[in-house]
Amino acid sequence: MKAVRALVLVSNDPDSLARGAQEVYRRIQDEVKAFGLQDEVSVTMVADIGRHDAVPMVMVYPEAVVYGPVKPDDARTLVEEHLYKGRVAPGLMAPAREMTGRIAWLSARKGTLPAEQRIVLERAGIIDPDDIEDYIAHDGYLALGKALTEMKPADVIEEIARSGLRGRGGAGFPTGTKMRMVARENKAKKYVICNADESEPGTFKDRLILEGDPHSIIEAMLLAGYAVGADEGFVYVRGEYVLAQTRLKKAIAQAEEMGFLGQDIFGSGFNFKLHIHSGAGAYVCGEETALIESIEGKRGEPRPRPPYPTQVGLWGKPTLVNNVETLANLPPIIRNGAAWFKQFGTPNSAGTKVYTILGNVNMTGLIEVPMGITLREVISIYAKGMRDGRAFKLAQTGGSSGSIIPAVLQDTPMDFDSYAKAGVSLGSGALLICNEDTCVVDLAKVLMNFFKSESCGRCGPCRIGTDRAYQILDHISQGVGKLSDLNDLDTLANGLNQFSNCGLGQTAAVPIRDMLKYFRAEVEAHIKLKVCPAGACAMSGIASRR
Partner 1 sequence: MSVETTAVEGIEPGGVYLPRPPLSEEEVRAAVQSAITRRGGAAADPVEMREALIPILSEVNQTLGYLPPEAFVEVGRQLRMPVSQLFSVASFYQMLSTKPRGRHIIQFCESAPCHVVGGRQVWTALQEALKLGPGETSSDGKWTLQTTSCIGICAVGPVLVVDADIYGNVTPAQVTEILAKYQ
- Contact residues for partner 1, defined by CB under 8 A: 14-15, 17-19, 52, 55, 198-204, 207, 238-242, 275, 277-284, 294-301, 315, 356-360, 364-366, 396, 399-400, 430, 432, 434, 438, 443, 446-447, 449-450, 453-457
Per-residue burial over 56-76, b = 16 or more CB atoms within 10 Å of its CB, e = otherwise: bbbbbeeeebbbbbbebebbb
**Closer CB to partner 1, 277 or 468, in the complex:** 277
Write down the least CB distance from residue 457 to partner 1, Å. Answer: 8
Q: What is the residue type of 317?
A: K
Cβ closest to partner 1, residue 222 vs residue 432: 432
Q: Which of 6, 9, 28, 11 minimizes the C-alpha distance to 69?
A: 11
In the complex with partner 1, which residue's Cβ is closer, 270 or 283? 283
> How many residues are present in the chain?
546
Smallest distance from partner 1 to CB 401, Å: 12
The identity of residue 309, as a single letter, is P
Closer residue to partner 1 in complex, CB, 242/339: 242
- Spatial separation of the C-alpha atoms in residues 143 and 155, rounded to whole Å: 13
Nearest approach, Cβ of residue 470 and partner 1 (Å): 13
Q: Which of 55, 255 has the CB closer to partner 1?
A: 55
Task: Supply the minimum distance, in Å, between the C-beta of residue 519 and partner 1.
Answer: 15
Q: Whose Cβ is closer to partner 1: residue 204's or residue 519's?
A: 204
Distance CA 516, CA 61 (A): 51
* 8 A C-beta contact, residue 152 and residue 228: no
Q: Which is nearer to partner 1, 346 or 396 (CB)?
A: 396
Exposure pattern of 435-474 as b/e (b: 16+ CB <10 Å)? beebbbbbbbbebbbbbbebbbebbebbbebbbbbbebbb
Q: 349-350 and 392-397 as β-strands: parallel, antiparallel, unpaired? A: unpaired
Q: Rounded to the nearest whole angstrom, what is the least distance from the CB of residue 21 to partner 1 in the complex?
A: 12
Q: Give the Å distances, CA to CA, from 465 to 225, 319, 480.
A: 39, 31, 20
- Sequence-distant (6+) residues with CB within 8 A of 225 are 192, 231, 232, 233, 270, 272
Distance CA 99, CA 152 (A): 38
Residue nearer to partner 1 on the CB measure, 349 or 364: 364
At closest approach, how far in Å is the CB of 53 from partner 1?
8
- Minimum CB separation of residue 84 from partner 1 in Å reads 32
- Measured from the CB of residue 138, what is the shortest distance to partner 1 in angstroms? 25
Chain CA centroid to CA 518, Å: 27
The residue (of 178 and 445) whose beta carbon lies closer to partner 1 is 445
Q: What's the min distance (Å) between Cβ of 202 and partner 1? A: 4
CB of 358 to partner 1, least distance (A): 5
Task: CB nearer to partner 1: give 242 or 529.
Answer: 242
CA atoms of 497 and 263, how far apart (whole Å): 46
475 within 8 A of 445, measured Cβ to Cβ: no
Nearest approach in angstroms of CB 272 to partner 1 is 17
Between residues 176 and 201, which has the closer beta carbon with respect to partner 1? 201
Show Cβ contacts of residue 176 under 8 Å, excluding neighbours closer than 6 positions: 157, 158, 160, 161, 162, 163, 165
| DSSP character at residue 459 | S
Task: Quote the Cα angle for 169-171-177, to 5°.
Answer: 95
Shortest Å distance, C-beta 434 to partner 1: 5
Which of 510-519 are b and which e, b meaning 16 or more Cβ less than 10 Å from the residue's Cβ?
bbbbbbbebb
- How many Å from the N-terminal Cα to the C-terminal Cα in the chain? 61
Closer to partner 1 at the Cβ: 102 or 298? 298
Q: How far apart are CA 424 and CA 401, in angstroms?
A: 11
Decide whether 453 or 491 has the Cβ nearer to partner 1.
453
| 385 Cβ contact list (under 8 Å, min separation 6) | 361, 362, 379
Cβ neighbours, 10 Å, residue 23:
15
Task: For partner 1, give the closer residue by CB, 135 or 204.
Answer: 204
**406 φ/ψ angles, rounded to the nearest 5 degrees:** -80, 170
CB of 382 to partner 1, least distance (A): 13
Q: How far is the CB of 267 from partner 1 (least distance, A)?
A: 29
| Closest-CA residue to 102 (of 52, 48, 64, 46) | 64
Assess whether the previous peptide bond of 306 is cis (omega < 30° from 0): yes
